[in-house]
């Protein structure tokens, strides 16, 4: 997909972080926008910065009915969807056995079912419209690695990686003119460390954080705040990948030795190495 002006971009999680950066980048390229977020106030703040045709719709991506309504609003308003960002994401940390059923339902509902709902609602329409189109699914380096005390998040992002790789193959098999990119960023200053603000009350935890969950939250906050790449720079990298038709979008290439280490562990049938060990070794 080489041309963006006049095309329609649909972005979930558009109220902050990568979603807002994608929206601003798309607007700067003259695209029409359909923006979705579960936080209406954050969504409105993004829309205020857009000077191209735009509609906003409060959407909980874990709810298939709401995502269907988002797709309907998109095609009712603009008649097409050319660039789909399945971007909304949340996280929960701590020892994997200490995560509650609510943690699993919330994180997988947004991170995995949010992507699945987006594909189910939009892809058939995008195939039918016949125009060249592209889909970007936001995963994470957590979909390529398995760092300790991040089990729920890791599992959800691994699922997004597998889902997106399969989507690529399925679209090729179907002969569809739809490109696919898998975005795997590392730590970037976004709102992911404050994701609890968007957790539904029905999935809130009654028990206080465990020691491992408190430690994981502190480590995530420090890592996100220390990120040297901005969300806008990630947006620039991602749009370049869409333009070039690139599948894997790795925004922090210095993570690749850790990815290779994991692949070597698998190939040599050895126990998994702590993916953070290379970073600690480099820092020593």
Q: Give the pLDDT of residue 220.
A: 78
pLDDT < 50 stretches in the chain: 283-284
Give the model confidence (pLDDT) of 154-169 as tens digits. Answer: 999 999 999 999 999 9
Whole-number pLDDT of residue 46: 98
The reported pLDDT for the residue numbered 283 is 41
Alpha-carbon separation of residue 64 from 109, 116, 167 (angstroms): 10, 9, 18
Give the pLDDT confidence score for residue 45 in this predicted structure.
Answer: 98
Please give the pLDDT value at position 221: 77
Catalytic status, residue 209 = no
Q: How many Å apart are CA 138 and CA 234, to the nearest integer?
A: 11
270: left (phi over 0), alpha (psi -120 to 50) or beta: beta
The pLDDT, as a whole number, for residue 192 is 59
Q: Nearest 5°: phi and psi at 14?
A: -80, 0
| Domains, the chain | 8-251 (3.40.50.720), 254-284 (no CATH)
Out of 153, 168, 209, 248, pick the active-site residue: 153
């Amino acid at each position: 997909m080489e041309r963006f002006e006049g095309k329609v971009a649909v972005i979930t999680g558009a109220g902050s972080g990568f979603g807002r950066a994608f929206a601003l980048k798309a607007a700067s390229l003259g695209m029409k926008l359909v923006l979705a977020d579960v936080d209406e106030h954050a969504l409105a703040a993004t829309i205020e910065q857009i000077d191209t045709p735009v509609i906003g719709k409060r959407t909980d991506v874990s709810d298939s009915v709401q995502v269907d309504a988002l797709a309907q609003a998109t095609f009712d308003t603009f008649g097409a969807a050319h660039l789909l960002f399945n971007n909304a994401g949340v996280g929960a940390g701590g020892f994997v056995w200490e995560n509650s059923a609510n943690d699993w339902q919330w994180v997988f509902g947004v991170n995995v079912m949010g992507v699945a709902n987006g594909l189910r609602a939009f892809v058939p329409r995008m195939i039918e419209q016949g125009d060249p189109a592209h889909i970007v699914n936001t995963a994470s380096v957590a979909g390529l690695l398995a760092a300790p005390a991040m089990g729920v998040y890791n599992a959800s992002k691994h699922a997004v990686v597998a889902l997106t790789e399969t989507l690529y193959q399925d679209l090729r098999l179907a002969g569809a003119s739809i490109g696919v990119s898998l975005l795997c960023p590392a730590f970037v200053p976004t709102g992911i460390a404050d994701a609890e603000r968007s957790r539904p009350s029905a999935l809130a935890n009654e028990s206080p954080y465990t020691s491992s969950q408190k430690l994981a939250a502190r480590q995530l906050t420090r890592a996100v705040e220390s990120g040297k790449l901005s969300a806008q720079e990630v947006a620039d990298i991602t749009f370049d990948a869409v333009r070039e038709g690139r599948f894997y979008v790795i925004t922090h290439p210095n993570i690749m030795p850790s990815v290779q280490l994991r692949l070597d562990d698998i190939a040599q049938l050895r126990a998994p190495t702590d993916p953070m060990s290379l970073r600690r070794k480099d820092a020593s």
